[in-house]
């Protein structure tokens, strides 16, 4: 099966998807676990979701830092909305992983491939 997401083509087989669902879910909980297991590093489905989860984690950390700094300037509550946005993206990613979908998270998912996090 050939999956296409935002212009890039991923050759992910149904067997990879089926065998990688659990580890793709784990990637959203603790992103580095799939990176430590050689068998999972070869699974394109798992690496796709690991890449997406790492991107969401970076958005969350950036939102938390900006929100903390912004709290000194009375705009922290507004900046903490980035954290809420990251949480919503996390839920979407988990649902995609558990349902076997190779689908980037909205608005920011395409940047995972551009930053080339897990290659």
CA angle 98, 106, 35 (to 5 degrees): 50
Q: Tokens for 77, please give them.
A: 């509550």
- Exposed/middle/buried for 81, CB within 10 Å: 0-12, 13-18, 19+? exposed
Three-state secondary-structure class, residue 49: helix
Count structural domains, the chain. 1
24-41: average pLDDT: 91
Give tens-digit pLDDT for 48-86.
999 999 999 999 998 888 888 887 777 777 778 888 999
> What is the 8-class DSSP label of residue 106?
T
Per the CB < 8 A criterion, the answer to whether 27 and 49 are in contact is: yes
List the domain range (segments joined by +) for residue 51.
2-115
């Amino acid at each position: 099966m050939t999956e296409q997401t935002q212009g890039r083509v991923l050759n992910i087989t149904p067997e990879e998807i089926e065998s990688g669902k659990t580890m793709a879910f784990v990637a959203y909980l603790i992103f580095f676990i799939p990176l430590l297991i050689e068998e999972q590093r070869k699974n394109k489905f798992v690496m796709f979701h690991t890449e997406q989860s790492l991107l969401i984690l970076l958005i969350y950390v950036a939102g938390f830092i900006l929100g903390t700094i912004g709290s000194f300037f009375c705009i922290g509550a507004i900046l903490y909305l980035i954290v809420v946005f990251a949480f919503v993206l996390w839920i979407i990613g988990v649902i995609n992983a558990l349902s076997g979908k190779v689908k980037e998270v909205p608005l920011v998912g395409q940047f995972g491939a551009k930053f080339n996090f897990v290659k």
